[in-house]
Every structure is written in C-alpha cells, then in structure tokens.
Structure 1
Amino acid sequence: MKRRAFHRAVFLLAAVYNILWGLLAAVDPQWLFRFADMPPLDQPALFACLGMVIGVYGLLYAEVARRPEHGFALAAVGLLGKVLGPIGLAGLILRGEWPPATLVLCLTNDFIWWVPFSLYLWDAWPGYRRTFAPGQHEG
C-alpha cells in the first residue's frame, strides 16, 4: 500500500484522539456548553453518549492502523461521519440554535481529518476494489 507508514500513523493518532475525546465527554459532558457560553444541558447523558460513540470510532481507527490494507470500509464510514457532522452543526448554527463557537467541535473532530482520511481512501481503493473483483478471493 502506498504511504502505508503515514496511514498507520494517522489512524493511530485518530484512534488515540477519539478515545480521549470520548473519555472527556463522558467525564465532563458540559464542557462544550461552558466553552460556547450556552446554557447547560438538562440531559448531559446525551453528550456523554456522543462521547461514547466517538470513543468507539477510536477502536475502529486503531484497527485501520493495525491493518491498513483492510480498513477501507471502516475509514469510509469514519470520513462520512466527519462530513455529515459538520453539515448537521452548520444547520444548527444557521438556524440560530447553536452559536458559532461550537464549530470548535468540527475543527478537531472533523476538518483536520478530511485530507488524511481522503488520501488513505485514495490509496486503499485499488486493494479494496480487487477484493470484490469477480473470481478473486482474499486468501
């Protein structure tokens, strides 16, 4: 795989980041609301649950780092979440429901990963495509 060492490092970093972010959200689910000068959540368990989901993505990214030749689908789902999340947040901001300060979520959780995840998918695509070629099976 092209740039294998780079991709392994990126996904290992993404794994550690996501697990730590998930732990922070579980331990302090009001941090974003304090940061953005928003009223505290009346159901902080919802944000803690979001942290759990993001933390679990960290386990998937660790698997991509461990076996980059086999991580295309996991990374594709990860990148999809990193695109859809900001779209949802943009809707909240445009409707005036959340302040622009909440974009901090997208800076570290999404935007910084778009290029390296996309590059990985570009490099991993030929191997993924061959896996599903007629008459060929991975052995």
Structure 2
Amino acid sequence: MVTSEAEQPVSPWMKPALRLAGIYNLTWGLWVMLFPIASLKVCGYPAPPTYPELWQCIGMIVGVYGIGYWIAASDPFRHWPIVFVGLLGKIFGPIGFLIAYSQGNLPLSAGLVNIFNDLIWWGPFAVILWNALRFAQTRNATSETGLPFSEAIQNFRSQDGTSLAELSNRQPFLVLFLRHSGCTFCREALSEIQMQRPKIESEGVQIAFVHMEDEEHGKKLFERYDVADLPRISDPKQVLYRAFEIGLGRFSQLMNFNVFWKGFLSAIVKGHGFSKVRSNVFRMPGTFLIHNEKILARHIAKDPSDHPDYGNLACDIKN
C-alpha cells in the first residue's frame, strides 16, 4: 500500500528553534524595556534618544513576538502565519537599518543588533515556512491512501469514460503528467505536444494527459492549445501521479537559476504566461510510454522545466 505523502513529520529541530527564538525575543524585549539607556549603548547607538520610551516600545513589540514564537513551536506547520509575520519583520528590520545608515541617520555599529535579532533567523524561519507550505499542499491534494499501478490505471478514466488501462490495451500511449495549470512549463508542454503531435501519431502512438485540475478548468486549458480532443484524466488528489512514482520536487529542484531562466523564456519570450495556482506546486511532471498496461519508457523530470523530446520518446515503441 502506498502511504500518504501528507505524513510528513515536523523536523526535530523546528520546535526547539522556535522556542529558542521565543526565549531570545522575550529576553531581549525585557532587557530593552527595563534598561533602555544601557541597551541602546550596547546596541551601538552613540547617544540616548530624547524619548527612550520609543526604544522601550520596540522592546515590547519584540517581546510579544517571542510569545508568538513559543506558541508556534507547539505546531510549526499549523501556526505558520506567526512564523511568516516574524520573518517579514526580520527582513524589513535590516532593510530599514540600511536605509537609515545610507542617509547618515544611524551609525554602522547600530546594525549589530540586526545580526542577532534578524539575520540569523532567516534560514530556520524560511525552511519552516517552505515545509509548512509543502505539507499543506500535499495534505489538501492527496488521498489518505494510494493505489498500486495496476489498480490505478483501471480506476482512472478519461473525459469519455475510458480507463487508462483500456487506452493502453488499444495501442501504445504517450502519457504526459502535467504540473499545475498555473505553471508556464505545463503550458509549454502542451504547446510542444501540439507541434509534435503529427510525428508522435505517425509512430502509431496516441497521446493522453493526466492533470491535477478539475475537468471543467482543465478542459479550458487544453482547448487553448488545441489538444482538447485527446484523452485527458483529471487527478486532483494525485493518486495516479503517485502510482507512477512521480514525486514532489525538492527545494533545489524547484528554486534554482535554470528554472527561473527557463521560466522567464517560457512565460515572457514564448508567451505562455502563468496564472493562479490551483493545485500542488510541488508535484513534478513526468512522461511515460505505456502499452498493454505496462510502462515501456519513462522520463522523470529533473526540474519543472525538464521536458523530453516527446517524438523521440514515442519512437521507443520500436526498441
């Protein structure tokens, strides 16, 4: 039995990291509130301000954040908004200091506090948020249990009611598992299929799609690229994706220069654009050549922009 991808435990370090952030913020906030003048000197400010109460107010705000981090530590994924707001503050704080420093309003020594209050927390908070998003998307889009390959291709049917197994028994099929429809690479793949369709079909191979949208929304996308007549299977819970062992992308796969550059070319230069995210942004694409309920060839993408030469993959039926 295929287990649920939603069963992703919180990494052991996340809760202690948030508790440490809570303790640090509370300690720093209390120190500033109780000893405003001394803390200003330690933090690199050359002279006490006219209104030290303003500095104490900042200490109070930081201390309140500490309470929030301690609460978030009980369930980092559930309380991700607290972590998100905290990270925003830790980003805008150093930005505000740099602006003030560039204008000559603060000395460089005053930036020391940003290192300990803000910069060192960027990494842990960002990783917690990334994993919280991954967990939420997977939990909302994945069934509790998966299906084995043989059962999945029998259960899932195209828009005309034909199962994927029945399609594969008729003739070889090149099956494209698409990313979410808001992704420019999903649209680029449909455009490439439109252009390569004559070559693929000349090899005696038919084409089918598996997508994560509901049928109504998916149909509009396929009509846009003039491939709506081809078999397509809606799989919002991504059971078929998992049966074909198409996993979730890692951070290094989804967020790298190659993806950003090719995404720019696809969305802007080629004009495929992008739109609202409606399904799992972490799910990777994949392409399979199947016949008689067996996989003859496959291409599992290295990153979202990685598309095979669909025509050449179809030719594997002769090998």
**Which TM-score band (shorter chain)?**
0.7 to 0.9
Relative to structure 1, the CA distance from residue 21 to residue 33 in structure 2 (aligned partners, 3 Å threshold; closer, same or farther) is closer
1:88 is matched with which residue: 93, 96, 109?
96
Out of 34, 37, 44, the residue aligned to residue 30 of structure 1 is 37
Residue 124 of structure 1, aligned match among 121, 128, 132: 132
Deviation, 1:33, is 3.4
| 8 Å Cα contact 1:11/1:64 also seen in 2 | yes
Paired residues, number: 133
User: Could you tell me which residue of structure 2 aligns to residue 57 of structure 1?
Assistant: 65
State the TM-score, normalizing by the size of structure 1.
Answer: 0.87
Q: Which amino acid aligns with 2:121?
A: W
Q: Is the 8 A contact 1:72 1:128 kept in 2?
A: no
Asked if the contact 1:21–1:54 (Cα under 8 Å) also holds between the matched residues in 2, the reply is yes
**Residue 70 of structure 2 corresponds to residue 79 of structure 1:** no
CA separation in 2, counterparts of 1:37 and 1:59?
27
- Residue in structure 2 matched with residue 136 of structure 1 by the alignment: none
Task: Tell me, in whole angstroms, the C-alpha distance in 2 between the residues paired with 1:38 and 1:122.
Answer: 39
Q: Distance in 2 between matches of 1:91 and 1:15?
A: 27
Distance 2:83 2:54 in 1: 25
Per the TM alignment, residue 124 of structure 1 is displaced from its structure 2 partner at its CA by 0.8
CA drift of 1:128 comes to: 3.6
Q: What's the secondary structure of 1:80's corresponding residue?
A: helix
SS in 1 for 2:104: coil
Residue 55 of structure 2 corresponds to residue 47 of structure 1 = yes
| Partner Cα separation in structure 1 for residue 75 and residue 111 of structure 2 | 32
Task: Tell me, in whole angstroms, the C-alpha distance in 1 between the residues paired with 2:29 and 2:40.
Answer: 16
TM-score for both structures, normalised by structure 2: 0.40
Instruction: Please give the alpha-carbon distance, in whole angstroms, between the structure 2 residues aligned to 1:98 and 1:104.
Output: 12
Point out the structure with the larger strand share. 2
- CA radius of gyration, larger in: 2
**Counterpart of 1:38 in structure 2: which amino acid?**
P
Identity of aligned residues (%): 33
Q: CA deviation at 1:34?
A: 2.0
- Quote how far apart the aligned CAs of 1:131 are: 7.5
Q: Which residue of 1 is the match for residue 12 of structure 2?
A: 5
Q: 122-131 vs 20-29, which deviates more?
A: 122-131
Contact kept? 1:32, 1:102, Cα under 8 Å? no
Distance apart, 1:41 and its partner CA: 1.2
1:25-75 deviations in Å (ceiling 9; x for gaps): 001112353232512111111000000000000011011111122121110
Gaps of 5+ in 1: 134-139
Larger mean Cα displacement after TM superposition, 28-37 or 47-56: 28-37
Cα distance in 2 for residues equivalent to 1:3 and 1:67: 8
Point out where structure 2 has 5 or more consecutive residues left out of the alignment. 1-7, 142-319
Provide the C-alpha distance between the structure 2 equivalents of 1:31 and 1:111, rounded to a whole number of angstroms. Answer: 23
Residues 2 and 115 from structure 1, CA distance in 2 versus in 1: closer, same or farther, beyond 3 angstroms?
farther
